[in-house]
Amino acid sequence: MMMTKKITIDPVTRVEGHGKVTIKLDENNNVIESRLHVVEFRGFERFVQGHPYWEAIVLVQRLCGICPVSHHLCAAKAMDHVIGVPSEQLTPIAEKMRRLMHYGQFFQSHVLHFFYLAAPDLLFGFDADPVKRNIVGVINSFPDLAKKAVLMRKFGQEIIKVTAGKKVHGTGAIPGGINRHLTMDEKNFFLNPTNLEFNADLMVEWAQEGLEIFKQYHKTHQSFIDGFANFESNYLSLVRKDGALDLYHGGLRSITHDGQKIFDHVDYQDYTNYISEEVRNWTYMKFPFIKSIGPEKGWYRVGPLARLNTCDFIPTPLAQKEFEVYKKYSNGKPNGNSMLMHWARLIETLHAAEVMRDLLNDPDLYSEGELVKTGVRTGEGVGVIEAPRGTLFHHYRVDKNDLITMCNLIVSTTSNNEGINRAVNWVANNIISGSKEIPESMLNQVEVAIRAYDPCLSCATHAVGQMPLMIDLLDHKDNILDRKVKNI
């Protein structure tokens, strides 16, 4: 009988949350199976039940310290429907304040991922000493770049603060609207052209510089980047009525790997008619799929790669120009390359910077207009928003006593679960398979594949508590032969 070994990467580093990768080898060190496990308890879908519906908008932010705004706004959009105020019926100031909050969140989250988590691999190389290949190494070797990254993230966080009330776990969005407008002092704080380290124009400029870092890296490492974890899939995102990229609101569009539409401009209140989930016994993350295709071939990817595959254009000039370059590179076809997720993410960062600047100049945000609208209670609502990592679903039912009786969450990383597993499997088969030893450089490339998706594993499992992510080497009876553990 052929003996097998299992390599477990635990924890996986430089991702939000933690998980575990196992790679099973036969006696010839060929890969026969690879999996990303998330082994922590799912809690929040039950945790919010029994709470008044208005509390959920704040409670669900505790799912994540990186993207709480996404959960805050998605829950708010769901509760808008619960009280009978669809998103299209919000007052102009309420919608624009929410959008500003959301794009501030997008900006800071994308900056965090690229400069803090992904850039060390690009700047120092995947084989570099991990002691240097981290954000501290970036600070020491590229101090000007690091300073800009810190200030960019600060800008996004300050936007969140003035729209949500505080930088983390804010309270700005409420059922039917928002609870504040901006002041002129706050406007001047963000638009002051004399502040040479902190204004909206600088954020646009620095976002362009960040984009150039990846584009230049791609030019000099084209064969590696283009060949790394490149595979076909379906894609899903929100798009605006005219097909534009819209990170806050729109209809659901899904396309195949070659760009054929599976469904288009679907009202997300009806998402259960189009999307389902399956469970597997080795992970707490579910596996969503498109119902009309089925679980085997109906899996899809979400996030920056998917959004730039599904949308027709980007409604800000500088990002649109970069989008055209990006699309030309793949001859206008959907791009399946996991590593080009970084390129797409940085185009979105530029788009977010442009949108923030435009909104900060919008007089509606400083008016004394109506902040909240009311409607006729429905008792059920679905909110969908494009979180930084991809399409986020919140679904609630509320009883006559205003208490939540049902909650279903499909978060971005859950939708990317199959894609991440396939990226890990690509690395396992193309980088690790056949090797007698698993050096740090090979382990890191497994993590690089996962990191490209910017996964939020705590969100994906709606987890309560810590979740350390691990490589174990096991025999055919799953006895541990070796273990690789990284300190975080």
Surface-to-core class of residue 223, CB atoms within 10 Å of its CB (0-12 exposed, 13-18 middle, 19+ buried): exposed
Confidence (pLDDT) at 461: 37
**Range of weakest confidence among 234-238, 347-351, 414-418, 445-449:** 445-449
The CB density around residue 140, as the number of other CB atoms within 10 Å, is 10
Confidence (pLDDT) at 7: 59
In a domain, 252, yes or no: yes
What's the rounded Cα separation, in Å, for the pair 377 and 384?
A: 19
Rounded to 5°, the CA angle 34-117-230 comes to 45
Mean per-residue pLDDT over the chain, rounded: 87
Confidence (pLDDT) at 132: 86
In a domain, 331, yes or no: yes
Mind listing the pLDDT tens digit for each residue in 60-80?
988 776 778 999 999 999 999
What's the rounded Cα separation, in Å, for the pair 419 and 76?
A: 29
Surface-to-core class of residue 474, CB atoms within 10 Å of its CB (0-12 exposed, 13-18 middle, 19+ buried): buried
| pLDDT above 70 for 464 | no
| pLDDT above 90 for 102 | yes
- Specify the amino acid at residue 58: V
Residues 89 and 375: beta-carbon distance below 8 Å: yes
Distance of CA 485 to the CA centre of its chain: 26
Nearest Cα to Cα of residue 384 among 397, 394, 374:
394
In a domain, 83, yes or no: no
Stretch 403-411: mean pLDDT, rounded? 94
In a domain, 312, yes or no: yes
Residues 175 and 76: beta-carbon distance below 8 Å: yes
As a residue count, the chain comes to: 488
In a domain, 287, yes or no: yes
- Specify the amino acid at residue 275: I
Stretch 437-459: mean pLDDT, rounded? 73
Confidence (pLDDT) at 457: 56
Confidence (pLDDT) at 15: 47
**Starting from the edge strand earliest in sequence, which strands make up the sheet with 390-398, in order?**
380-387, 390-398, 404-410
Confidence (pLDDT) at 470: 58
Pairing of strands 480-483, 472-474: antiparallel
| pLDDT above 80 for 382 | yes
Domain around 302: 231-336
Stretch 160-168: mean pLDDT, rounded? 93
Residues 66 and 77: beta-carbon distance below 8 Å: no
What's the rounded Cα separation, in Å, for the pair 87 and 73?
A: 11
Nearest Cα to Cα of residue 284 among 10, 38, 450:
38
Confidence (pLDDT) at 74: 97
Q: How many helices and strands, by DSSP H and E, does the chain display?
A: 17, 16
Stretch 250-272: mean pLDDT, rounded? 98
Calculate the alpha carbon distances from 41 to 169, 283, 328, 335, 407 in Å. Answer: 22, 10, 44, 34, 16
Structure tokens at 473: 């080497």
Nearest Cα to Cα of residue 149 among 125, 171, 123:
123
| pLDDT above 90 for 29 | no
In a domain, 362, yes or no: no
Mind listing the pLDDT tens digit for each residue in 290-309?
999 999 999 999 999 999 99
State what percent of residues in the chain have pLDDT above 90: 65
Structure tokens at 323: 């989008």
pLDDT band at residue 467 using 50, 70 and 90 as cut-offs: very low
pLDDT band at residue 41 using 50, 70 and 90 as cut-offs: low
- Beta bridge pairs of residue 9: 21, 484
Kindly report whether the peptide bond that precedes residue 388 is cis, defined as omega within 30 degrees of 0. Answer: no
pLDDT band at residue 9 using 50, 70 and 90 as cut-offs: low
What's the rounded Cα separation, in Å, for the pair 210 and 187?
A: 25
In a domain, 225, yes or no: no
| pLDDT above 90 for 34 | no
In a domain, 77, yes or no: no
Confidence (pLDDT) at 126: 78
| pLDDT above 50 for 259 | yes
What secondary structure letter does DSSP report for 205? H
Number of domains in the chain: 1
Structure tokens at 46: 């039950």
